[in-house]
Structure 1
Amino acid sequence: MLWGVIVSCLFASLFLFGSTYLIWYKKDLTFIAGFDEKKFKGDKVRLARAYGIFCLASGILTVLLPFALAIIGSYAGAIFGIWLTVGVVMLAFYSQSLNKGS
């Protein structure tokens, strides 16, 4: 197993864990791309929780990715890509529903 892959995945997951801390716990929504405080009229606590949970889950999966690639193979990379794609789409629709809800 290449140590470079493990180290790069650890750095990426640390970035995601830091984003989780800032968005979910500190409620700093400026880290969300495209977020505008003036235009968003929904529940900001629920939005921060949703983005925080997504960043946390993505960080955990990023830590596990090199080991899954070694054990399962390229299928693990495909599953990881599908997870991120579906998660981002669902998160976009969820944040829009939160904005329309209020």
Structure 2
Amino acid sequence: MPRKTSTPTSELAREILSYFLRNPQAADSLEGVTRWRLLEERVHRQLEDTDLALGWLVSHGFLVKISSQWTEAVYRLNEGNRGDAEEFIIENEKGKRKSR
């Protein structure tokens, strides 16, 4: 049984393994894995993270999700909550400056 590690190498190993688990027929060189596979893995993870963030922004009224049966959903600013959105950004920036 592999031991659990928490080094940068173990995170990279998990990314590589996750790609190969999702794509069991894949085979590539070191350079190929580095250039294409890891980029794809990061994009996959970013899609999931972005979906969660968009859902949060919609649920808090900052964005509006527009769905259509002919295209995938698109998002836009909820103009009715523009002031709240600007306040959210300002407060978040203040919090970042304090933590430095």
What TM-score, normalized by structure 1, do the two folds share?
A: 0.37
More helix by share: 1
Q: Which has the larger radius of gyration?
A: 2
What TM-score, normalized by structure 2, do the two folds share?
A: 0.38
